[in-house]
Structure 1
Amino acid sequence: MHLFNNVKFNTPESVELEFTLAGIGNRAWALLIDYHILAVILVGFFTAWSIISVSLGDFWVNIFGAGVTLWLIAIAFLVSFIIYIGYFVFFETLWFGQTPGKRVAKIRVVRDDGRLIGLQQATLRALLRPFDEIFFIGAFLIMFGRREKRLGDLAAGTIVIQAQTATASATLIISEQAKLLYEQLIEIADFSQLMPDDFAVIREYLQRRGAMSLKPRASLSLKLAEQVVDIINLEKLPEAVTSDVFLEAAYLGYQKPEF
Protein backbone atom coordinates (compact mmCIF):
# COMPACT_ATOMS: atom_id res chain seq x y z
CA MET A 1 0.00 0.00 0.00
CA HIS A 2 1.31 3.48 -0.88
CA LEU A 3 0.72 6.14 1.77
CA PHE A 4 1.32 9.05 -0.61
CA ASN A 5 0.96 7.79 -4.15
CA ASN A 6 1.24 10.44 -6.86
CA VAL A 7 0.17 10.51 -10.49
CA LYS A 8 1.39 12.81 -13.27
CA PHE A 9 -0.45 14.30 -16.25
CA ASN A 10 0.79 16.30 -19.22
CA THR A 11 -1.51 19.17 -20.23
CA PRO A 12 -1.96 20.51 -23.78
CA GLU A 13 0.35 23.37 -22.75
CA SER A 14 3.13 20.78 -22.17
CA VAL A 15 3.03 21.41 -18.43
CA GLU A 16 3.56 18.34 -16.26
CA LEU A 17 1.13 18.24 -13.35
CA GLU A 18 1.33 16.01 -10.32
CA PHE A 19 -1.61 15.02 -8.13
CA THR A 20 -1.78 12.94 -4.98
CA LEU A 21 -4.07 9.92 -5.05
CA ALA A 22 -6.80 10.00 -2.43
CA GLY A 23 -5.83 6.83 -0.56
CA ILE A 24 -8.10 4.33 1.14
CA GLY A 25 -8.40 6.40 4.34
CA ASN A 26 -9.85 9.49 2.65
CA ARG A 27 -12.07 7.36 0.44
CA ALA A 28 -13.43 5.41 3.42
CA TRP A 29 -14.14 8.65 5.28
CA ALA A 30 -15.99 10.06 2.25
CA LEU A 31 -17.99 6.84 1.85
CA LEU A 32 -18.95 6.84 5.53
CA ILE A 33 -20.41 10.34 5.16
CA ASP A 34 -22.22 9.42 1.95
CA TYR A 35 -23.68 6.29 3.55
CA HIS A 36 -25.06 8.29 6.46
CA ILE A 37 -26.77 10.64 4.00
CA LEU A 38 -28.04 7.67 1.98
CA ALA A 39 -29.35 6.02 5.15
CA VAL A 40 -31.46 9.07 5.95
CA ILE A 41 -32.82 9.13 2.39
CA LEU A 42 -33.62 5.40 2.39
CA VAL A 43 -35.23 5.48 5.82
CA GLY A 44 -37.44 8.30 4.60
CA PHE A 45 -38.35 6.34 1.47
CA PHE A 46 -39.16 3.08 3.30
CA THR A 47 -41.20 4.95 5.90
CA ALA A 48 -43.25 6.69 3.23
CA TRP A 49 -43.59 3.44 1.24
CA SER A 50 -44.79 1.53 4.30
CA ILE A 51 -47.41 4.14 5.12
CA ILE A 52 -48.68 4.15 1.54
CA SER A 53 -48.69 0.35 1.35
CA VAL A 54 -50.64 -0.04 4.60
CA SER A 55 -53.16 2.69 3.82
CA LEU A 56 -53.82 1.36 0.30
CA GLY A 57 -53.31 -2.32 1.10
CA ASP A 58 -56.94 -3.41 0.74
CA PHE A 59 -57.31 -1.42 -2.47
CA TRP A 60 -54.27 -3.06 -4.08
CA VAL A 61 -55.29 -6.55 -2.92
CA ASN A 62 -58.72 -6.14 -4.50
CA ILE A 63 -57.15 -5.15 -7.82
CA PHE A 64 -53.99 -7.28 -8.03
CA GLY A 65 -54.81 -10.17 -5.72
CA ALA A 66 -53.14 -11.55 -2.57
CA GLY A 67 -49.70 -11.71 -4.19
CA VAL A 68 -49.50 -7.92 -4.31
CA THR A 69 -47.52 -7.85 -1.03
CA LEU A 70 -44.54 -9.60 -2.61
CA TRP A 71 -44.70 -7.22 -5.54
CA LEU A 72 -44.71 -4.20 -3.23
CA ILE A 73 -41.66 -5.54 -1.41
CA ALA A 74 -39.87 -6.21 -4.71
CA ILE A 75 -40.69 -2.72 -5.99
CA ALA A 76 -39.46 -1.18 -2.74
CA PHE A 77 -36.10 -2.93 -3.01
CA LEU A 78 -35.79 -2.03 -6.70
CA VAL A 79 -36.45 1.65 -6.00
CA SER A 80 -34.02 1.61 -3.07
CA PHE A 81 -31.31 0.20 -5.37
CA ILE A 82 -32.03 2.95 -7.90
CA ILE A 83 -31.73 5.55 -5.13
CA TYR A 84 -28.43 3.99 -4.01
CA ILE A 85 -26.96 4.03 -7.53
CA GLY A 86 -28.57 7.34 -8.46
CA TYR A 87 -27.09 9.12 -5.44
CA PHE A 88 -23.53 8.59 -6.66
CA VAL A 89 -24.34 9.12 -10.35
CA PHE A 90 -26.24 12.34 -9.62
CA PHE A 91 -23.63 13.99 -7.42
CA GLU A 92 -20.51 12.82 -9.27
CA THR A 93 -21.98 14.11 -12.53
CA LEU A 94 -23.40 17.37 -11.16
CA TRP A 95 -20.48 18.17 -8.87
CA PHE A 96 -17.76 17.11 -11.32
CA GLY A 97 -16.48 14.02 -9.56
CA GLN A 98 -17.56 14.79 -6.02
CA THR A 99 -20.31 13.61 -3.69
CA PRO A 100 -21.11 15.34 -0.39
CA GLY A 101 -18.74 12.89 1.32
CA LYS A 102 -15.96 13.52 -1.19
CA ARG A 103 -16.34 17.27 -0.80
CA VAL A 104 -15.92 16.98 2.97
CA ALA A 105 -12.94 14.63 2.54
CA LYS A 106 -11.52 16.95 -0.16
CA ILE A 107 -11.15 14.29 -2.83
CA ARG A 108 -12.39 14.12 -6.42
CA VAL A 109 -12.89 11.54 -9.18
CA VAL A 110 -11.21 12.37 -12.50
CA ARG A 111 -10.49 10.44 -15.67
CA ASP A 112 -7.17 8.70 -16.17
CA ASP A 113 -5.93 11.71 -18.17
CA GLY A 114 -6.90 14.20 -15.48
CA ARG A 115 -10.07 15.44 -17.20
CA LEU A 116 -13.41 15.68 -15.43
CA ILE A 117 -15.71 12.66 -15.44
CA GLY A 118 -19.11 12.60 -17.14
CA LEU A 119 -22.36 10.67 -16.84
CA GLN A 120 -20.90 7.52 -18.43
CA GLN A 121 -17.97 7.26 -16.01
CA ALA A 122 -20.12 8.08 -12.97
CA THR A 123 -22.69 5.44 -13.96
CA LEU A 124 -20.09 2.70 -14.48
CA ARG A 125 -18.50 3.45 -11.12
CA ALA A 126 -21.88 3.38 -9.36
CA LEU A 127 -23.09 0.15 -10.96
CA LEU A 128 -19.93 -1.71 -9.90
CA ARG A 129 -19.87 -0.20 -6.41
CA PRO A 130 -21.92 -3.06 -4.82
CA PHE A 131 -19.37 -5.64 -6.00
CA ASP A 132 -16.49 -3.49 -4.72
CA GLU A 133 -18.02 -3.07 -1.29
CA ILE A 134 -19.95 -6.25 -0.59
CA PHE A 135 -17.10 -8.57 -1.55
CA PHE A 136 -14.32 -6.15 -0.42
CA ILE A 137 -12.83 -6.24 -3.92
CA GLY A 138 -12.50 -2.46 -3.95
CA ALA A 139 -10.54 -2.23 -0.70
CA PHE A 140 -8.16 -4.96 -1.83
CA LEU A 141 -7.51 -3.31 -5.21
CA ILE A 142 -7.08 0.16 -3.69
CA MET A 143 -4.59 -1.03 -1.08
CA PHE A 144 -2.42 -3.03 -3.45
CA GLY A 145 -2.93 -1.33 -6.83
CA ARG A 146 -0.35 1.15 -8.07
CA ARG A 147 -3.01 3.72 -8.98
CA GLU A 148 -5.38 2.76 -6.16
CA LYS A 149 -8.26 1.86 -8.48
CA ARG A 150 -11.26 -0.15 -7.37
CA LEU A 151 -13.20 -2.29 -9.83
CA GLY A 152 -15.44 0.63 -10.79
CA ASP A 153 -12.42 2.81 -11.53
CA LEU A 154 -10.87 0.14 -13.73
CA ALA A 155 -14.06 -0.16 -15.78
CA ALA A 156 -14.70 3.58 -16.03
CA GLY A 157 -11.09 4.64 -16.57
CA THR A 158 -11.02 6.91 -13.52
CA ILE A 159 -8.87 7.65 -10.50
CA VAL A 160 -9.59 9.42 -7.22
CA ILE A 161 -7.27 12.29 -6.31
CA GLN A 162 -6.98 14.76 -3.49
CA ALA A 163 -8.80 17.94 -4.49
CA GLN A 164 -6.59 20.95 -5.00
CA THR A 165 -6.83 23.57 -2.27
CA ALA A 166 -5.25 26.89 -1.60
CA THR A 167 -1.49 26.73 -1.31
CA ALA A 168 0.20 28.95 1.21
CA SER A 169 3.11 30.49 -0.61
CA ALA A 170 5.02 33.75 -0.38
CA THR A 171 4.97 33.99 -4.16
CA LEU A 172 1.22 33.41 -4.52
CA ILE A 173 -0.47 36.72 -3.78
CA ILE A 174 -4.13 37.38 -4.52
CA SER A 175 -4.77 41.10 -4.98
CA GLU A 176 -7.81 42.93 -3.67
CA GLN A 177 -8.69 43.80 -7.27
CA ALA A 178 -8.84 40.08 -8.09
CA LYS A 179 -11.14 39.42 -5.13
CA LEU A 180 -13.51 42.15 -6.33
CA LEU A 181 -13.33 40.82 -9.89
CA TYR A 182 -14.17 37.32 -8.66
CA GLU A 183 -17.35 38.63 -7.00
CA GLN A 184 -18.36 40.13 -10.36
CA LEU A 185 -17.43 37.10 -12.44
CA ILE A 186 -19.44 34.58 -10.41
CA GLU A 187 -22.57 36.27 -11.78
CA ILE A 188 -21.64 35.84 -15.44
CA ALA A 189 -18.98 33.09 -15.66
CA ASP A 190 -19.21 29.32 -15.21
CA PHE A 191 -16.23 28.46 -13.01
CA SER A 192 -17.46 24.88 -12.69
CA GLN A 193 -16.01 24.27 -16.17
CA LEU A 194 -12.47 24.68 -14.82
CA MET A 195 -10.83 21.26 -14.51
CA PRO A 196 -8.21 20.11 -12.01
CA ASP A 197 -5.41 20.44 -14.54
CA ASP A 198 -6.64 23.93 -15.56
CA PHE A 199 -6.45 25.00 -11.93
CA ALA A 200 -3.01 23.46 -11.49
CA VAL A 201 -1.65 25.37 -14.51
CA ILE A 202 -3.06 28.65 -13.15
CA ARG A 203 -1.64 27.96 -9.70
CA GLU A 204 1.76 27.04 -11.15
CA TYR A 205 1.92 30.29 -13.09
CA LEU A 206 0.83 32.44 -10.12
CA GLN A 207 3.45 30.81 -7.91
CA ARG A 208 6.30 31.22 -10.40
CA ARG A 209 5.50 34.51 -12.15
CA GLY A 210 7.73 36.49 -9.81
CA ALA A 211 10.80 34.69 -11.16
CA MET A 212 9.91 35.35 -14.83
CA SER A 213 11.23 38.17 -16.95
CA LEU A 214 8.68 40.77 -17.98
CA LYS A 215 8.08 39.86 -21.64
CA PRO A 216 7.70 36.05 -21.28
CA ARG A 217 5.53 36.59 -18.20
CA ALA A 218 3.18 38.95 -20.06
CA SER A 219 2.94 36.58 -23.04
CA LEU A 220 2.21 33.49 -20.93
CA SER A 221 -0.24 35.33 -18.70
CA LEU A 222 -2.25 36.59 -21.68
CA LYS A 223 -2.27 33.14 -23.32
CA LEU A 224 -3.53 31.45 -20.14
CA ALA A 225 -6.12 34.16 -19.54
CA GLU A 226 -7.53 33.79 -23.07
CA GLN A 227 -7.83 30.03 -22.59
CA VAL A 228 -9.63 30.48 -19.26
CA VAL A 229 -12.02 32.98 -20.88
CA ASP A 230 -13.09 30.27 -23.33
CA ILE A 231 -13.37 27.61 -20.63
CA ILE A 232 -15.63 29.62 -18.30
CA ASN A 233 -17.81 30.87 -21.18
CA LEU A 234 -16.90 34.56 -21.22
CA GLU A 235 -16.93 36.56 -24.44
CA LYS A 236 -13.67 38.36 -23.69
CA LEU A 237 -11.35 39.48 -20.93
CA PRO A 238 -12.98 42.08 -18.66
CA GLU A 239 -11.98 45.63 -19.57
CA ALA A 240 -9.43 47.53 -17.49
CA VAL A 241 -8.24 44.27 -15.91
CA THR A 242 -4.79 42.76 -16.40
CA SER A 243 -4.48 39.11 -17.32
CA ASP A 244 -2.68 38.48 -14.02
CA VAL A 245 -5.60 39.84 -12.02
CA PHE A 246 -8.00 37.80 -14.13
CA LEU A 247 -6.03 34.60 -13.46
CA GLU A 248 -6.04 35.37 -9.74
CA ALA A 249 -9.84 35.70 -9.89
CA ALA A 250 -10.06 32.39 -11.78
CA TYR A 251 -7.88 30.80 -9.09
CA LEU A 252 -10.44 31.90 -6.50
CA GLY A 253 -13.29 30.77 -8.74
CA TYR A 254 -12.10 27.17 -8.90
CA GLN A 255 -11.80 26.89 -5.14
CA LYS A 256 -15.23 28.39 -4.47
CA PRO A 257 -17.55 26.70 -7.00
CA GLU A 258 -21.17 27.79 -7.02
CA PHE A 259 -23.55 24.80 -7.20
Structure 2
Amino acid sequence: MKENTFEIAQKKIHVLAFLIDFTIYATIITILGYFFGGTLEDAFGFRLNVLATLTILFMGFFLWPISEGLWGQTIGKRIFKLKVLSDDYKPIEMGPAVLRALLGFIDYIFLAGLIVATTNDKNKRIGDLAAKTIVVQLKK
Protein backbone atom coordinates (compact mmCIF):
# COMPACT_ATOMS: atom_id res chain seq x y z
CA MET A 1 0.00 0.00 0.00
CA LYS A 2 1.41 3.38 -0.96
CA GLU A 3 2.01 5.76 1.90
CA ASN A 4 0.38 8.70 0.10
CA THR A 5 -3.00 6.92 -0.12
CA PHE A 6 -3.76 7.38 3.57
CA GLU A 7 -3.10 9.47 6.68
CA ILE A 8 -3.07 8.69 10.40
CA ALA A 9 -6.66 8.16 11.60
CA GLN A 10 -8.07 10.85 13.84
CA LYS A 11 -9.00 9.72 17.35
CA LYS A 12 -12.58 10.92 17.08
CA ILE A 13 -13.16 8.95 13.85
CA HIS A 14 -11.59 5.87 15.41
CA VAL A 15 -13.89 6.20 18.43
CA LEU A 16 -16.95 6.57 16.16
CA ALA A 17 -15.95 3.40 14.27
CA PHE A 18 -15.61 1.55 17.59
CA LEU A 19 -19.04 2.76 18.69
CA ILE A 20 -20.59 1.37 15.50
CA ASP A 21 -18.83 -1.97 16.01
CA PHE A 22 -19.87 -2.06 19.66
CA THR A 23 -23.48 -1.25 18.75
CA ILE A 24 -23.53 -4.12 16.27
CA TYR A 25 -22.08 -6.45 18.91
CA ALA A 26 -24.56 -5.28 21.57
CA THR A 27 -27.45 -5.77 19.14
CA ILE A 28 -26.34 -9.32 18.42
CA ILE A 29 -26.05 -10.01 22.16
CA THR A 30 -29.56 -8.66 22.72
CA ILE A 31 -30.99 -10.80 19.91
CA LEU A 32 -29.22 -13.91 21.20
CA GLY A 33 -30.38 -13.11 24.71
CA TYR A 34 -33.95 -12.71 23.55
CA PHE A 35 -34.10 -15.92 21.52
CA PHE A 36 -31.79 -18.20 23.52
CA GLY A 37 -31.44 -16.64 26.92
CA GLY A 38 -34.72 -17.12 28.63
CA THR A 39 -35.77 -14.51 31.12
CA LEU A 40 -34.87 -10.86 31.08
CA GLU A 41 -32.86 -10.29 34.25
CA ASP A 42 -33.01 -6.49 34.27
CA ALA A 43 -33.05 -3.61 31.82
CA PHE A 44 -29.50 -4.34 30.65
CA GLY A 45 -29.03 -8.09 30.64
CA PHE A 46 -30.34 -11.59 30.12
CA ARG A 47 -29.79 -14.88 31.84
CA LEU A 48 -28.09 -16.72 29.00
CA ASN A 49 -27.88 -20.44 28.43
CA VAL A 50 -24.53 -22.07 27.68
CA LEU A 51 -24.84 -21.97 23.88
CA ALA A 52 -25.70 -18.27 23.81
CA THR A 53 -22.93 -17.46 26.29
CA LEU A 54 -20.31 -19.35 24.28
CA THR A 55 -21.50 -17.70 21.07
CA ILE A 56 -21.18 -14.25 22.63
CA LEU A 57 -17.72 -15.03 24.02
CA PHE A 58 -16.63 -16.42 20.65
CA MET A 59 -17.85 -13.29 18.89
CA GLY A 60 -16.22 -10.99 21.41
CA PHE A 61 -12.85 -12.67 21.14
CA PHE A 62 -12.88 -13.39 17.43
CA LEU A 63 -15.22 -11.03 15.56
CA TRP A 64 -12.89 -8.05 15.64
CA PRO A 65 -9.56 -9.85 15.16
CA ILE A 66 -10.83 -12.09 12.37
CA SER A 67 -12.24 -9.18 10.37
CA GLU A 68 -9.13 -7.08 11.00
CA GLY A 69 -6.81 -10.00 10.32
CA LEU A 70 -8.51 -10.86 7.03
CA TRP A 71 -9.49 -7.42 5.71
CA GLY A 72 -7.76 -4.91 8.02
CA GLN A 73 -11.19 -3.52 8.90
CA THR A 74 -14.25 -4.04 11.02
CA ILE A 75 -17.65 -2.84 9.81
CA GLY A 76 -17.23 0.45 11.68
CA LYS A 77 -13.76 0.99 10.24
CA ARG A 78 -15.04 0.22 6.75
CA ILE A 79 -17.81 2.83 7.09
CA PHE A 80 -15.26 5.50 8.07
CA LYS A 81 -12.63 4.26 5.57
CA LEU A 82 -10.19 3.28 8.33
CA LYS A 83 -7.77 0.39 8.01
CA VAL A 84 -5.39 -1.36 10.39
CA LEU A 85 -1.89 -1.81 9.00
CA SER A 86 1.41 -2.96 10.44
CA ASP A 87 3.91 -0.28 11.45
CA ASP A 88 5.65 -0.73 8.10
CA TYR A 89 2.32 0.04 6.34
CA LYS A 90 1.71 -3.53 5.16
CA PRO A 91 -1.53 -5.50 5.67
CA ILE A 92 -2.01 -6.72 9.23
CA GLU A 93 -1.72 -10.43 9.99
CA MET A 94 -3.90 -12.52 12.29
CA GLY A 95 -1.42 -12.59 15.23
CA PRO A 96 -1.25 -8.80 15.66
CA ALA A 97 -5.03 -8.59 15.11
CA VAL A 98 -5.63 -11.00 18.01
CA LEU A 99 -3.18 -9.11 20.23
CA ARG A 100 -4.93 -5.80 19.44
CA ALA A 101 -8.29 -7.35 20.35
CA LEU A 102 -7.07 -8.84 23.61
CA LEU A 103 -5.55 -5.54 24.71
CA GLY A 104 -8.61 -3.71 23.41
CA PHE A 105 -10.48 -4.71 26.55
CA ILE A 106 -7.95 -2.76 28.63
CA ASP A 107 -7.97 0.10 26.14
CA TYR A 108 -11.74 0.53 26.15
CA ILE A 109 -12.76 -0.47 29.65
CA PHE A 110 -10.31 1.77 31.45
CA LEU A 111 -10.08 4.39 28.67
CA ALA A 112 -6.35 3.80 28.88
CA GLY A 113 -6.13 3.48 25.10
CA LEU A 114 -7.58 6.94 24.58
CA ILE A 115 -5.20 8.41 27.14
CA VAL A 116 -2.21 6.67 25.55
CA ALA A 117 -3.36 7.68 22.05
CA THR A 118 -3.36 11.35 23.05
CA THR A 119 0.27 11.12 24.12
CA ASN A 120 1.76 9.92 20.82
CA ASP A 121 1.83 11.48 17.37
CA LYS A 122 0.33 8.44 15.55
CA ASN A 123 -2.73 8.14 17.83
CA LYS A 124 -1.79 4.58 18.82
CA ARG A 125 -3.60 2.91 21.68
CA ILE A 126 -2.00 0.24 23.89
CA GLY A 127 -3.11 -2.57 21.55
CA ASP A 128 -1.50 -0.82 18.57
CA LEU A 129 1.76 -0.25 20.43
CA ALA A 130 1.99 -3.89 21.52
CA ALA A 131 0.95 -5.34 18.14
CA LYS A 132 3.06 -2.84 16.18
CA THR A 133 0.07 -1.66 14.17
CA ILE A 134 -1.40 1.65 13.12
CA VAL A 135 -4.90 2.74 12.15
CA VAL A 136 -5.00 4.88 9.02
CA GLN A 137 -7.65 6.85 7.15
CA LEU A 138 -7.81 5.86 3.49
CA LYS A 139 -8.00 8.80 1.10
CA LYS A 140 -9.85 6.96 -1.66
TM bucket, shorter chain: 0.7 to 0.9
Q: CA deviation at 1:121?
A: 1.3
Q: SS at 1:110's partner residue? A: strand
Contact 2:36 2:49 in 1 (8 A): no
Counterpart code for 1:49: F
In structure 2, list runs of 5 or more residues that go unmatched.
Answer: 40-46
Q: How does 1:128-139 map to 2 (within 5 A)?
A: 128-139=103-114
Contact 2:17 2:79 in 1 (8 A): yes
Matching residue of 1:126: 101
Matching residue of 2:17: 30
Q: Work out the percentage of aligned pairs sharing the same amino acid.
A: 36
For residues 78 and 134 of structure 1, what CA distance do their matches in structure 2 show?
Answer: 21
Matching residue of 1:99: 74
For residues 69 and 87 of structure 2, what CA distance do their matches in structure 1 show?
Answer: 16
Q: SS at 2:56's partner residue? A: helix
For residues 26 and 118 of structure 1, what CA distance do their matches in structure 2 show?
Answer: 23
Contact 2:3 2:89 in 1 (8 A): no
Contact 1:22 1:160 in 2 (8 A): yes
In structure 1, list runs of 5 or more residues that go unmatched.
Answer: 1-10, 54-69, 166-259
* TM-score, structure 1 normalization: 0.46
For residues 19 and 139 of structure 2, what CA distance do their matches in structure 1 show?
Answer: 22
RMSD of equivalent CA atoms: 2.4
Contact 1:23 1:142 in 2 (8 A): no
Counterpart code for 2:137: Q
Cα deviation 1:70-129 (Å, max 9, x = unaligned): 9x767755542321121101211232x111100111111000000000111111111111
Cα deviation 1:113-149 (Å, max 9, x = unaligned): 0000011111111111110001111100111212211
Q: CA deviation at 1:48?
A: 2.8
Give the one of 95, 111, 128 matched to 1:153.
128
Counterpart code for 1:47: Y
Q: Which has the larger radius of gyration?
A: 1
* TM-score, structure 2 normalization: 0.82
Q: How does 1:64-79 map to 2 (within 5 A)?
A: 77=53, 79=55
For residues 74 and 23 of structure 1, what CA distance do their matches in structure 2 show?
Answer: 39
Where is the strand percentage greater, Structure 1 or Structure 2? 2
Counterpart check, 1:83 vs 2:69: no
Matching residue of 1:17: 3
Bigger relative CO (Cα 8 Å, ≥ 6 apart): 2
Counterpart code for 1:116: P
Q: How does 1:77-226 map to 2 (within 5 A)?
A: 77=53, 79-95=55-71, 97-165=72-140
Shift in CA distance, 142/49, structure 1 to aligned 2, threshold 3 Å? same
